[in-house]
Chain A
Amino acid sequence: MANEEWEKLKAALRKPVTPEAMQEAASAFSRYQVVQLAKGKGSKPTLVSLGRGKGYPNAVPVDKIPEQLATNPQFFNLMKRVVAKEKG
């Protein structure tokens, strides 16, 4: 189930940056996250990076990733590189 949702996220991230693709990726990540949270992680996971002067925050709580994916093209591009292994 988790893997299925993750594959959907990858597929969305492989699309060119459009509002529709960003919304699709955000929804896919939200669904993936629901499955992951069901495993009972009791912490505050945060995606962080050591970038300087980027168009996205250096720290994004995992539960805020869908919001960033839906609204921030630079963050969408970062996730495209990290998750879908494609150049943004």
Chain B
Amino acid sequence: MATTVLMSDHDLPTRSASGFILKYIAPRVEPVQLFSVFVRRTPFRLAAPQSDIIIGVGHGSETIFSGHNEAVILEVGKYNSREVEGKVVKLLSCQTGALLGPDLVKNGAEAFLGYVDDYVWVMDSDLATRPWADTMAAASLIPVVDGLNALLDGKTAKEAFDIELEGYTRNAEVEEDELVKSCLEFNRDNAILLGDLEARVRARPPLPLPFRLVPPPPNLVPLRR
């Protein structure tokens, strides 16, 4: 089974979040990886049924998860259940845990991990061309990466979820900036896990040593402001 990773990249928040997935998750999973302009409904519709895990970064609302330039990827009642059946779905997006997540589980997703309110963090917009170097954003996004890596190590959805929550708590405890701390606590309190808590995906091999030494992805093109 393949992994479907959707990494929207059209504005500062999607650039920041996808940057971390690109650096820390993409190298250890096989295609299909949909990046930037390829995060659209048709490529997703073709890739998703062959995957056992769907990892999505993009803007969202209670009923919609969107990709590049807000192209709708998943909307309550408007997708084929084959796209999510038997899969673990992780959406790094706002509010999709409210209605879309339950709908995905109702339509056969084995587990859903998302957020019931906005996902917020503080990033350094001077680092938009190499978002993975942003230590401010890392406080919030590394717990997400840790949770995803746990899933890809073969841990259960509940174990991966707990790892993400512990990451927020740990980072909030040592954070001096009250705004960053509030964001971490907010994301932790709004994280949600639905479906089978014992759901697992096929364990992917850890990155072998040579790959750990591979430099990060090349700088990304600057965003138009």
A interface vs B, CB < 8 Å?
Answer: 2-3, 6, 32, 36, 39, 43-54, 58-59, 61-62, 78, 81-83, 85
Contacts and interface: CB of A to CB of B under 8 A. Distances in A.
B178 A6 contact: yes
Chain A interface, DSSP helix/strand/loop, else mixed: mixed
Interface stretch (B13-21, B26-34, B78-86, B162-170): B13-21
A81 B117 contact: yes
Interface string B33-48: 0000000000000000
Contacts of B105: none
26 contacts: A32-B178, A39-B176, A44-B124, A45-B125, A48-B12, A48-B16, A48-B121, A48-B123, A49-B13, A49-B119, A50-B14, A50-B17, A50-B59, A50-B60, A50-B93, A51-B94, A51-B95, A51-B118, A52-B64, A52-B70, A58-B12, A58-B13, A81-B186, A82-B182, A82-B186, A85-B185
Given A43-B136, A81-B186, A82-B186, A48 B120 contact: yes
Residue among A36, A62, A78, A81 with max Cβ neighbours from chain B (10 Å): A81
B201 to A, nearest CB: 23
Interface of B: 11-14, 16-17, 57-61, 64, 66, 70, 92-95, 117-127, 136, 176-179, 182-183, 185-186, 189
Nearest to B8: A50
B91 to A, nearest CB: 9
B94 A48 contact: no
Closest A-B pairs by Cβ, 6 of them: A48-B13, A52-B59, A51-B94, A59-B12, A43-B124, A6-B178
Given A44-B124, A44-B126, A49-B120, 6 more contacts: A3-B178, A44-B125, A48-B121, A50-B118, A51-B95, A59-B13
Chain B interface, DSSP helix/strand/loop, else mixed: mixed
A14 to B, nearest CB: 14
Contact of A50 (B94, B182, B189): B94
Residue among B57, B92, B177 with max Cβ neighbours from chain A (10 Å): B177
B11 to A, nearest CB: 6
Given A51-B59, A52-B60, A59-B12, A46 B124 contact: yes
